[in-house]
């Protein structure tokens, strides 16, 4: 048996990842660890609430599976703080082939470099939160992220959510992290992208496609990708969603429950807008934009900005 300090610390790291034990006090000299094969993170068997976390750079040569074998209705949690985490075989959040009741929460404050498929909500309820200085780089920025892959699954990509546990969409707002990926694809389940951050100038560039929901709660987010393949809905619950092009939200319908929908000059939005409750603001900072989709509902509509907004669609 190899009892060297290197072997003992490597075994400690594997134990920490496999048993949801926080890894602390690892000497700085042992600054990079490699774990060969797949790593599964599940809810602790002793029913404690401690998440898996680490304070050293880690590389996994296999897959990262968060939530495999977790107890129904309990949360498996994996927290990456201010170090680099590398998974070279792909990753799956809320991954349990035998159950759709698994819950898994991954929060990234450091840098996660993933190669291979990245799925948020494979069979159960998965949440990937990127906040602060967190970066998730998928296949060197060229890959896609799948949200809610299988029927019956749910998945949420949360930009700016804080906390070591996912409690609700209304929990602490933080600075937004970065998803460096070519695109997001909503799968066969119920998928969402949640923007709930503190930035006034956040740009989200990956393309978005499939049937899913975009929820805006806080902060200003500009969608710059060609999202013509997106369908489903956009929920304005607060904050501001800025549309860089007419294809920024595809064919998704908009529900206004507060917040601001900002049109860049030249945008012609054919999407329907339902003013569900409260006051929703349409903003055109300069130039001219067009809302050609229908506007309905009993909520209040406020026009803001020096630009011109032409309403050419039906209103009820």
Helix (H) or strand (E) holding 12: helix 5-19
What value does the mean pLDDT take over residues 53-78?
Answer: 71
The per-residue pLDDT for range 8-29, each reduced to its tens digit, is: 444 445 444 444 333 333 434 4
pLDDT per position as a tens digit, 121-178: 999 899 999 998 899 999 999 999 999 999 999 999 999 987 766 666 767 789 999 9
The dihedral of CA 136, 140, 142, 147: what is its sign? negative
Coil, strand, or helix at residue 313? coil
Helix (H, G, I), strand (E, B) or coil at 109: coil
Q: Check residue 232 and give left, alpha or beta (phi > 0: left; psi -120 to 50: alpha).
A: left
Mean pLDDT of the chain: 84
Q: Let me know the angle formed at the C-alpha of 177 by 171 and 179, rounded to the nearest 5 degrees.
A: 120
Is the distance from CB of 65 to CB of 97 less than 8 angstroms?
Answer: no
Instruction: Find the mean pLDDT for residues 215-227.
Output: 97
Distance CA 193, CA 283 (A): 22
Nearest to 231 by CA among 206, 255, 211: 211
List all residues 6 or more positions away from 31 whose beta carbon is below 8 Å from its beta carbon.
56, 57
Secondary structure of residue 121 in the 3-state scheme: coil
pTM: 0.88
Whether 1 has a pLDDT exceeding 50, the answer reads: no
Among 99-103, 129-133, 293-297, the range scoring the smallest mean pLDDT is 99-103
More confident residue, 60 or 136: 136
Residue pointed to by tokens 């948020």: 120
Asked if the model's pLDDT at residue 47 lies above 80, the reply is: no
What is the pLDDT at residue 287? 98
């Amino acid at each position: 048996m190899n009892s060297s300090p290197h072997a003992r610390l490597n075994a400690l790291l594997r134990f920490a990842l496999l048993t949801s034990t926080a890894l602390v006090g690892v000497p700085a000299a042992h600054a990079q660890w490699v774990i060969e094969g797949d790593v599964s993170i599940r809810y602790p068997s002793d029913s404690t609430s401690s998440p898996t976390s680490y304070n050293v750079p880690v590389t996994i040569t296999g897959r990262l599976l968060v939530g495999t074998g977790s107890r129904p209705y309990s949360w498996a949690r994996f927290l990456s703080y201010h170090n680099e985490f590398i998974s070279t075989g792909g990753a799956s959040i809320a991954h349990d082939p035998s159950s759709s009741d698994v819950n898994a929460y991954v929060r990234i404050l450091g840098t996660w470099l993933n190669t291979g498929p990245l799925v948020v909500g494979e069979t159960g309820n998965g949440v990937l939160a990127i906040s602060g200085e967190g970066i998730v780089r998928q296949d060197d920025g060229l890959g896609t992220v799948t949200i809610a892959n299988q029927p019956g699954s749910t998945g949420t990509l949360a930009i700016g959510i804080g906390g070591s546990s996912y409690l609700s969409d209304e929990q602490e707002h933080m600075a937004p992290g970065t998803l460096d990926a070519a695109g997001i694809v909503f799968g066969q389940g119920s998928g969402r992208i949640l923007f709930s951050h503190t930035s006034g100038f956040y740009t989200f560039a990956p393309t978005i496609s499939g049937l899913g929901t975009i929820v805006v709660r806080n902060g200003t987010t500009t969608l710059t990708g060609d999202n013509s393949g997106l369908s489903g809905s956009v929920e304005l619950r607060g904050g501001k969603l800025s549309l860089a092009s007419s294809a920024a939200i595809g064919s998704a319908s908009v529900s206004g429950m507060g917040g601001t929908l900002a049109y860049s000059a030249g945008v012609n939005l054919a999407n329907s807008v339902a003013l569900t409750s409260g006051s929703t603001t349409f903003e055109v900072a300069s130039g001219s934009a067009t809302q050609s989709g229908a506007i309905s509902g009993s909520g209040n509509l406020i026009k803001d900005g020096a630009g011109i907004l032409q309403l050419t669609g039906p209103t009820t």
